[in-house]
Amino acid sequence: MTKFSDLNLAPKVLKAVAETGYDTPTPIQAGAIEPALEGRDVLGIAQTGTGKTAAFTLPMITLLGRGRARARMPRSLVLAPTRELAAQVAENFDAYAKYTKLSRALLIGGTSFKDQDKIIDKGVDVLIATPGRLLDHLERGKLILTDVKIMVVDEADRMLDMGFIPDIEEIFKRTPFTRQTLFFSATMAPEIERITNTFLSNPAKIEVARAATTNTNIKQGVVMFKGSAKPKEPSEKRALLRKLIDAEGEACTNAIIFCNRKSDVDIVAKSLNKYGYQAAPIHGDLDQSHRTKTLDKFRDNELRILVASDVAARGLDIPAVTHVFNFDVPSHAEDYVHRIGRTGRAGRTGTAIMICVPRDEKNLEDVERLVKETIPRLDAPGGKAPAPAEAEPVAEKPKRTRTRRKKDDAPAAKTDVPEADEATPTEAPKSDAKAEEKPRQERKRGGRGRGNDRRDAGPKVVGMGDEPPAFIALSFAERAKG
């Protein structure tokens, strides 16, 4: 059996590795480290959680043992698709390079440009960055890549999914043609193969697992769910999620829940907290410092459940995650492999449970076609989907009834109308209001300014009926005598 001591790594690197508690490399590490130390380009294909980060970090530290970095000119470059993955690579570098004098810089969004510029100005041996932030520094003239000797593209398939191909091509153009290039990915899409033919020269291809396979240590299952009604489906689905968590009992010490949409991440996290499940959201719209604090709490077991978007599907190296719940079937089948790869890491066992609603069945078919296996169907806890309990029922407002008066009906006399009870609404004021509005509109149409003149004319003049007062029939002379 191959050991790290058999791989020609530098003594200081071997000492740091031994302190981490590992002495036997994983298959991807055993296959990639030797050709990387020989200076060859490497194309590594392995499922997530198999140690790809150490597969390029360890030989890189050994190769950079000699030499010194110059200001703004890093000697090696590592590209990662997300901030979390870039930060994870930086942590691995710090652990394995602690007995060397190598320096590194982390260029990711959400942090100060000035602080990053200060580190770059001093000169760094290893530059770890996301493509967007790296290009920002290049366009500002703060960085030169002509001295890069080793270039690493981590999670290459994810780079392609996120649309980073133009950025990567631009970055490659600014690096020397003689550089050593290492590509690592969990899946091998046809387009990746085309890109590697462009960027890599006669690479050593190490494929330790069939492309897009899932870890055999992970117990998988899917619950086919249909809500009782479309408006109720979201809350019923969240209730089902809580039932699934409860059904796992003490075996679920911590879990990551994945949602397709950022808005659902916040809603699910808020719902879980409402029912006492101790959850926190993490997605791309959150500030980087907030995301880092949330991840630290999850790693330190201060937080039981992490609700995440696919921004966290890669780069989360948390060995002891017992469960992954897919609240949604991922839109891209490849993301399923990366999501469930957050559990069952480093030889441990894990559980991955997914909820599939009817509109996601096509995505489920794509997932099963990719992984070349049928995911076992599970029964919902209790035999049927639980009724939602997300909100208190809202009392319905009493419906108002309107009675129409026939044309031949005479209006009731005022004295015949009983006094309305204070608690019972009546329609009389409403009909009076309409009667007032209509004449006012007609007056406005009748002539210029008439409507405004009649607004404050006082109460209406009521007709005198069939028996006018007697004084009306008197002449003016008779009135004067009287």
The Cβ-side half-sphere exposure at 425, using a 13 Å CA radius, reads 9
Task: Please state, as a whole number, how many other Cβ atoms lie within 10 Å of the Cβ of residue 223.
Answer: 20
Tokens of 272: 């879980």
pLDDT tens per residue, range 396-421: 444 454 545 444 444 444 444 444 33
The closest alpha carbon to 283, from 74, 5, 38, 84, belongs to: 84
Predicted pLDDT of residue 257: 96
218-383 CATH pick, 1.10.3080.10, 3.40.50.300, 3.40.50.10470, 3.30.565.10: 3.40.50.300
Asked if 259 contacts 329 with a C-beta cutoff of 8 angstroms, the reply is no
* Alpha carbon 41 to chain centroid, angstroms: 34
Contacts of 75 (CB under 8 A, 6+ apart): 64, 67, 69, 124, 125, 126, 147, 148, 149, 150
Name the nearest CA neighbour of 171 among 121, 137, 205. 137
The answer to whether the beta carbons of residues 30 and 52 sit under 8 Å apart is: no
HSE value, Cβ hemisphere, 13 Å, CA-based, for 114: 0
The predicted structure's pLDDT at residue 288: 76
Task: Output phi, psi for 199, to 5 deg.
Answer: -95, -25
User: Between 3.40.640.10, 3.65.10.10, 3.40.1350.10, 3.40.50.300, what CATH number should domain 4-207 receive?
Assistant: 3.40.50.300
User: Can you spell out the DSSP letters for 385-419?
Assistant: PPPP-SSPPPPPPPPP---PPPTTPPPPPGGGSPP
Residue 162 in 3-state DSSP?
coil
Instruction: Write down the pLDDT at residue 448.
Output: 45
Other Cβ atoms less than 10 A from the Cβ of 4: the count is 20
pTM above 0.85, yes or no: no
pLDDT at 473: 61
Q: What is the pLDDT of residue 270?
A: 96
Q: Do domains 4-207 and 218-383 have the same CATH topology?
A: yes
In the sheet where 377-378 sits, what is the strand order? 279-282, 305-308, 255-258, 323-326, 350-356, 218-224, 377-378
CA–CA dist 191, 332 (Å, integer): 15
Residue 440: name the closest of 429, 454, 428 by CA: 454
Are 36 and 8 in contact by the 8 Å Cβ rule? The answer is no
Predicted local distance difference test score (pLDDT) of residue 286:
82
Closest CA to 282 of 418, 165, 296: 296
Model confidence pLDDT, tens digit, residues 264-304: 999 999 999 999 999 999 987 888 788 888 988 998 999 99
What's the rounded Cα separation, in Å, for the pair 196 and 185? 11
Spans of all domains in the chain:
4-207, 218-383
Taking 70 as the pLDDT cut, the residues of the chain under it are 1, 48-49, 209-213, 311-317, 346, 383-482
pLDDT at 389: 46
